Structure formats: C-alpha cells, structure tokens
A and B are shown apart, each in its own frame.
Chain A
Amino acid sequence: MSANPQHTPYHPRWYRASMPIFWWMRRWIHARFILRELTSIFVAGYALVYLLQLRALGLGPEAYARFLDLLRSPLSISLHGVSLVFVIYHSITWFNLAPRALALRIGDRRVPDKVIAGLNFVAWISISAALAWVTLKG
C-alpha cells in the first residue's frame, strides 16, 4: 500500500487491517478459545506421566516405589493441580461442543442439543464415579 492515497472514481483504494500476531489477546472470547486449545498440552502431558508410571510399574517394585515418591514431591503436586484445572476445562468445553458435531434423531425428531450435551456429562460423572469406586474398593 502506498503512503499517498491514490483514488480514482472507478478504482477505489481499499483499507485492509491485518491481524496482529497476538490477536487472541484483544478479546476475552478469543483468549478463551486459545486456552481451550492449550488444554491439549495438559492432556498429552498427563498421558505422558501416566505412561511413565506404567513404565515404572513394568520395571519392578523398587522402580515403582521411586516413581510414587516422585509423585509426592511438592513440584509434582502443584503441576498436577494446575493440570487438573485444564483437563477439567477440556472436558467441559468438549462436552458442550459435542452437539455441534452430532445430529442424532429418534424417529422424525432431532434430539435436542441440551440432551446430547447432558448425556455426555452424565457419562463423564458415571465413569469418574465408577473408577473412583474401583480404586477405593481395591
């Protein structure tokens, strides 16, 4: 774009705004979107921790005990605390968006979005309760 405006009646000179690099910091809804996308780091991060725990399990009782000690460190506890916030945010946003992808129908009637999202939350809570119960019992 030239510095001096050049305008002719049949060839208008358009103004084009460009997106700043950190466009998502300008608006809360966009920042929230980036936060939602960044939950994936914590999802994969915990999957990695879980994998390392399984590896320690495979290496024998001493290695496993050492790993459990590691999990007890203040650093580990705080990282898990932060991660928990993000993975729960992932779950909530994921289930709320599920109706966008699923158009279920029973007979001639579309299943309402709220029902689809609701069923997801019910499944989430049931699975969590079941896993917690199995652990408590074991």
Chain B
Amino acid sequence: MKTTIEPFWWSLFGAGGTLAALFIPITLIINGLAIPLGWLDAPAYENVLQLARHPLARTYLFLLISLSFYHWAHRFRFTLYDGLQLKHLNLLIAVICYGGATVGTIAAGYTLINL
C-alpha cells in the first residue's frame, strides 16, 4: 500500500489550530492591545520573567508557538495549491511552508531554553 505522510502534517495542523483558536485571541488582546494602549498596567519585568521560566509555562509557550507555525504551514500550503492553482510547484511550496515552520520551531525552542 502507498503510504502517505499527510496524517502527520494534518495532526500538527489540527493541534495547532485548536491551541491557536483557544489561546491566541485573548493573548493578542492583552499583550498586543490592552497593555500597549494602557487599558491594563504592564506587569513588572521580573514577574513576567519568573512566570515564563516556569517549566509548565515554557512547555505551553513552546507548543502554542510551534504548533501555530505548523498550523499555518499546512493551511497555507493548500491555499497556495488550490487558491492560486500552483500544483506544479507542490514540492517547493511544501518545503517552504513546513521548512519555515520548522525553523520557527527551532527558534522557539532555543529562545525558551535560554530564557
């Protein structure tokens, strides 16, 4: 039987889509809008650092960021493939999308380990 790698990419896409759907809107509202606009006071640097260094927080942040990248990679690959009918560039698109997400994942791991 022909084997396919699609189940693997799809599972990352699905996990990333779920995490992003649950956590990103509120994170964006707080960090990207409420605090910069002064609706909320920015928490002290030391507190943020301490919180982010907690092993559970590091794991959460790593999964959220990395899986969000893979979620994008899978969806965007098919959007290019169908939306612009670029099926002849299938391999190149896949390498750029999943490769980009992998680079992002390594960067996230490196950043969080050295936090």
A residues with a Cβ closer than 8 A to B are: 19, 21, 24, 34, 37-38, 40-41, 43-44, 46-51, 53-55, 57-58, 61, 64-65, 68, 71-72, 76-77, 80-81, 83-84, 87-88, 90-91, 94-95, 101, 120, 123-124, 127-128, 131-132, 135-136, 138
Which residue of the partner chain, among A37, A51, A71, A138, contacts B32 with CB atoms under 8 Å? Answer: A71
A131 touches B26 (CB 8 A): yes
- Complex Cα distance A14/B112, Å? 60
Residues of B within 8 A of A138 (CB): 43, 47, 51
Interface of A is mostly: helix
Question: For the complex, would chain B's binding face be called helix, strand, loop or mixed by DSSP majority?
Answer: helix
Given contacts A54-B61, A76-B32, A138-B43, whether A127 and B72 have CB atoms under 8 Å apart is no
* Structural contact, B36 and A57, CB atoms closer than 8 A: no
Are B25 and A57 interface neighbours, CB within 8 A? no
Pick out which of these stretches binds chain A: B1-9, B75-83, B88-96.
B75-83
Q: How far is the CB of B111 from chain A (nearest CB, A)?
A: 5
B115 to chain A: which residues have CB within 8 Å?
A: 54, 57-58
